[in-house]
Every structure is written in C-alpha cells, then in structure tokens.
Structure 1
C-alpha cells in the first residue's frame, strides 16, 4: 500500500464517521453544525459514487430474487466481499419490463446507465410458461422450440430491416423455468443513443420454422411480480478507490469535534497510546444516517478504524514498514528536528457490496473498493 492509498483510506474512514456523530442530535445542532452535517453526508455520497440520495420506492417492493441471490453469493456479513473475482465488473443493475402490454414485445428503460460505463454483458431473463398445446393433435409431436430475441429497429418488425437478431436458443416445449438470453449488442446501442431503444421482440417457432402460438413468457401485467421479465446489466465504472477531497471538512469539523468530545477523546488517546497501533470498530449504520429507505442490504457495516501510538521500538505486531522503523528511530534519537512518529493507518483494505434501489426503482448491486480496514500498521 502506497502513501497515497493510506491517505485516501484514512480520509475515507473520517468521512464515514462524520455523519454518525451528528445524526442523533441533528435537530438540536446549531446552523454551523447542520451545515457541516449536510456537507459530510454529501461527501459520503461521493464515496458511493452518487450526487444525490436516491428516492425510496413509493410502494414496498420486493427485489428480484436473482439480485438477492447474486448479492448473497458475492457478499458476506455486513456486505463484505467474499472474493473480488466473483462479480463481473463492479456494478450489476436489474431493469423490469416497462411495456407490460404484449406477450412478445418488451421494453426496458436503461436511461440511468452512464455512457462512460463499460458494458461487459447484458442478459434478458424471461420466465417461460409451460406449453399448452391446442386440440390439434399435430402440435403434440413438438418437444422442442426455437426461441429468438430481436432488437427492434423500427415499427415494421416483420422485415429484416426492422429487427436485428441478438440471440437464439432451442428449449424444451413443456418446461417452466427462467431462461437467459445475451443481448449485449442492443444494450450497448441503447446506452450510447437512448432514442434507439425501441424494445425487444421475442419469437417462438418449431425447429422446422413454424410459429408456435401456445408458448409464452410471463409478463409484468399478467403474472406475479416474481416472474417479471428483466434485463440484467453488468458494467464497470472503473472507480477504484478514487481520492475524495476532505480538506474543507477537516478544517471545519475537527475544531467542532474537539469542542464537543474533548474529554472522551483525551481518554481514548491515552488508552490508544498505551496499547499501541490497533484496529477498532467503526460501525456505519445506514438507518441512523437516513439511508435505510433505499438501501436493501446491508443495514450497515463495520468499516473499522486505526488508532494508537507508533513509538520506538516498533514491534512486528505493529506491522511496521522499513521506512516507519527508520522514522521511529530518527524521532526517538532526535537526530532531525520536526520528524514525527509514524502514523497508525490501515495497511489492508477490503471492499463491500451495496444492494439498493436507484431513482427509477431499479435494483442495483455495486461493489466499492477500500471501504473496510482489514488490519492496521505503523507507516
């Protein structure tokens, strides 16, 4: 871990702690304190890559089971990432069908996806209903069907110019299950030009090319919400521990914090100096911050923070770098004026995952780097 990363992580932990110190007494804070609290929450949103707090859903909504299962696969306790390689990119979004009118046509509003994001893959998830053959005995001999997904280019979908083939698969006629089709090319077009989004067309034919009218997929209008058509989009916004400027908060907040917490801080500092550099809990409670309405999971997480003295001699339990060891010696021997003791900072950082509703009530799974102090050391 380099010096820049150490500074960013220390700044991040400060940001995470700022809102918590003000939430409980926000109503009684003076104007200066209210302004600092507002600024702290604004900067915390920047850490999460957002400009404003997403609006909570107007009605109680159950997230798609696929997104819940994906979250539980990649995240453990408090949203901590199990294995970084489990998730493709750092953002997964789910979009529900907005057409809600036709059995064979679907529309998904992807306007919330920024053009700067890298599109990795996009999937159309459809719940196939069990085929119900007509009275015509000839239909009973069909055990498989060919399902094709087209990008609609214009209103005349019956011509080759009006549609573009994205994916085709052969499926059992009588199965009832979720089916997934790759539609990455269409989604890329839609994110680059939102006006080009005219939806998707799904056709079902026999292997000989005849139309099968009794094979259908669940729609948002006619079936339970757990079976709604959905697009799942995997992207990467290339945010990797981006530095957040906190200079304005530091200069305004630290005097305030010292004024209100001087006694407790003095006790904590003496205790930390006796124990040396260690990791301490720092729980971020999204409900206390006021974010529980749009964050699905986790309800909060332990970011931890590092505190304690790094005085000579530095033992291996303090995980010192060679530079920190030399600096502590120079400080102890007073060989050079103005050389402070090394700092107790995170030397290992982990990522967390958030599952939340965006402004359009789409469910988003996002992975954030450098959010949890895994261990502390003298640097």
Structure 2
C-alpha cells in the first residue's frame, strides 16, 4: 500500500528517475546536516535533471559556447509569436536555423552573379522535415551605378556533385526590384530532404542573380549578403516534427512526480508520528482552520536559467514561472482539486483516525509545455512544445 501525505511538490523533479538516490540524500540530510556527502548526492540529483533535460533536446551534453552571435531576427520573431500568443499554431514542433559555413564560389559578369553557399546540416533521425526555407538578404550595390533602381530574377538550385562535377537542380525563383534592402524567402524543402536522406552533412545551394534592364552596366547591381559573421548572412530555416510521443512521456512524468512526493513524505512523517499522536482532541479545530487557510493550490516558482549556469546556451526564456503545488489536502476535498476516489476515501479514513491513514498529497495533475530557444554549435533551435516544464493544475492524490 502506498503511503500518501501532505508535501511540497517540486515540478522540475518529475524528470528524475533515480528516486532511490534521492531517498539516500534525505536520510543523509536527517542524520547529519554537516555530512560532506550530502552535497555530492544533491549534485548527482542535479546531474540527473540536467541529463534528462538535454536528452529531450537531443543534446549529448551542455554546449560550451565561449562566444555566441545573436539569433536571426526571424527566429526571435517566431519565438516571441509562439511564446506570447498561445493560439498561434506553428508549422512544426521544431524550427532550426543554419548559417552558411562557407561561400565556395562567387562569380560576376555583366548580366548575372553566381554564389555557391555551403551549409552543414544535421537533423535527428526521429524528426520528419515538413518544410525548409532559404532566406537571402538582398541589397542594391551602388559602388559603380549611376541609378537607384534595378530589376533582377533570383534563382536557387540544389547543387549535387557527380565525379566532382556540379549538377544543378532548380528549386525556386523570385523577381525583385532593388530599391531597398530586404529579405527574400525561397522554398528549398526538396533539397533538404535529399540531403538528410543521403546522410551528407555538408551540402551546397546555388544562387544565380540575373539582372534585367540594366542599361550601361558598370558594376554593382542587386546582390545578396554572403558574409558568414553577421545577421544579414544567408540562413537556412528547417521546420520538422518530432515523432516521439511527448504526450505519453508527459503522463509518465506526472506519475513519477506523484510517486516522488509520496516517497519524500514517508521519512518526515515517520519522524513526526509520535508528536502528532500527542495532540489532544481540542487541537483538532485549530488544525482544521490552518488547513483551510493552507489548502492545496498552485503557487509561483520562478526559474532563472542563469542561476544554474545554462544562460550561455538557453537563449529564451531567460526566466519563466514553472509553478509548484503547495498546501494541504483536508476534508472536504473540493472539485477544484480534482480528488481521485482513492484520495477521497483516504481523506475520510484520516479524518476518522489520523493514525490509520495519512492525508492525501497536493501534487501536479496537469503539466503544460513552454516554448524554448537554445543554441548549440552555431545552430539556433526553437522548440515550440517542450513538454512538462510548468504546472498547469494541482490536485489531491
């Protein structure tokens, strides 16, 4: 029979699977508050949390980024849209940006300009690509022009090499007028799917800018930014869906959280058993008034990633409210704490004989996701539904 009691819930502990280790930590804490092994055991628990957190993000370890560029403006727009507007429906669960690694070739003549853009791309095997876009920043090069207007057609190709000879596969085209600098978007989904299927991480897109109505051409004209170190460089945006069952995992985490809280309470309740037995009957009304004032509810729990040293790679949010469940589950159990049948029966038994059964436990009964942006090896990733990161509802179990 599971022993249940009032306890303070810890939402982020839902990912910890090694509950026996945590029990050892609590025993150590009770036996000697100055035991140096206590810090080591707590450190192990934090490592378990970190490892599970990283595993769900498909990361092998905490990224060590000594320097980090700002995320592309488009990626910040996406993050803000999904984080602020819960009604927004993203195209995919996961969105990544890949900057160009190199410009292997650039050529210009009187009628056109050509660039070969090289990208390093890696997508986890359990994700399915739904769409991919190439974003190019176009501008009018006035270096040798006598007018402020020019028309051009920009064409994008998938470059496949056969015996070191490039073969171009047309992907997309767009006409533009070079009045003002602007971002142009080209769909390149077929190319990215081919890259992933082939298993090659380094691949090339070709860009051809064909000028029209140039008049007397002396150089300059419409071009694209190909710098690899600024926010105007060409960027590849890949949308994918995570095919793993996050909902099932979310339910499993809830079960683990409840079980964790049940076990956490056992030791402290056993130590306090003799004290609670000594309470007289006249103390019962006062205890019930206290329970009413401290009823099971959801309270704020602010998490600052800088405090745990993850702000170097978690771009946003910097701080968020994970919430936690606090309070007592005392008779009568109201509908707002959605008590299970077992919790109701247990509460009635406790009310009749506190020595026979403990109170039900105030625990999370529903978890919500958050939108997360993180940075690793030059890649910015927005994960729209990072499940199980904040408590949505509390109840008595």
- TM-score scaled by length of structure 2: 0.69
1:83 to 86, 90, 98: 86
Asked whether 1:218 is paired with 2:235, we answer no
How far did residue 45 of structure 1 move?
3.6
Any conservation in 2 of the 1:355–1:365 contact (CA below 8 Å)?
A: yes
SS in structure 1 opposite 2:130?
Answer: strand
Supply the distance in 2 between the matched residues of 1:66 and 1:29 (Cα, whole angstroms): 51
Query: Cα–Cα, structure 1 residues 54 and 129, in superposed 2: closer, same or farther, change >3 Å?
Result: farther
Supply the distance in 2 between the matched residues of 1:70 and 1:36 (Cα, whole angstroms): 37
Supply the distance in 1 between the matched residues of 2:350 and 2:309 (Cα, whole angstroms): 45
Query: Cα–Cα, structure 1 residues 44 and 55, in superposed 2: closer, same or farther, change >3 Å?
Result: closer
How far did residue 204 of structure 1 move?
1.9
Matched with 1:42 is: 48
Matched with 1:127 is: 137
Any conservation in 2 of the 1:330–1:339 contact (CA below 8 Å)?
A: yes
Q: Which deviates further from its counterpart, 235-244 or 59-68? A: 235-244
Rg comparison, structure with higher value: 2
2:120 to 109, 122, 127: 109
Query: Cα–Cα, structure 1 residues 348 and 93, in superposed 2: closer, same or farther, change >3 Å?
Result: same
Supply the distance in 2 between the matched residues of 1:312 and 1:117 (Cα, whole angstroms): 48
Q: Give me the CA root mean square deviation.
A: 4.1
Query: Cα–Cα, structure 1 residues 114 and 29, in superposed 2: closer, same or farther, change >3 Å?
Result: farther
Q: Deviations over 1:56-84 (max 9, x none)?
A: 322242222222222111114xxxxx316
How far did residue 349 of structure 1 move?
2.8
Any conservation in 2 of the 1:312–1:332 contact (CA below 8 Å)?
A: yes
Any conservation in 2 of the 1:283–1:304 contact (CA below 8 Å)?
A: yes
Supply the distance in 1 between the matched residues of 2:325 and 2:63 (Cα, whole angstroms): 34
Which one has the bigger strand percentage?
2
Q: Which deviates further from its counterpart, 279-288 or 227-236? A: 279-288
Query: Cα–Cα, structure 1 residues 309 and 207, in superposed 2: closer, same or farther, change >3 Å?
Result: same
Give matches, 1:170-181, under 5 Å.
170-181=175-186
Matched with 1:68 is: 76
Supply the distance in 1 between the matched residues of 2:347 and 2:260 (Cα, whole angstroms): 26
Matched with 2:280 is: none
Query: Cα–Cα, structure 1 residues 197 and 332, in superposed 2: closer, same or farther, change >3 Å?
Result: same
Give matches, 1:54-65, under 5 Å.
54-65=62-73
Query: Cα–Cα, structure 1 residues 339 and 150, in superposed 2: closer, same or farther, change >3 Å?
Result: farther
The answer for unaligned runs of 5 or more in structure 2 is 1-8, 20-24, 26-33, 107-114, 214-218, 277-286
Matched with 1:156 is: 165
Question: Between Structure 1 and Structure 2, how many residues are aligned?
Answer: 333
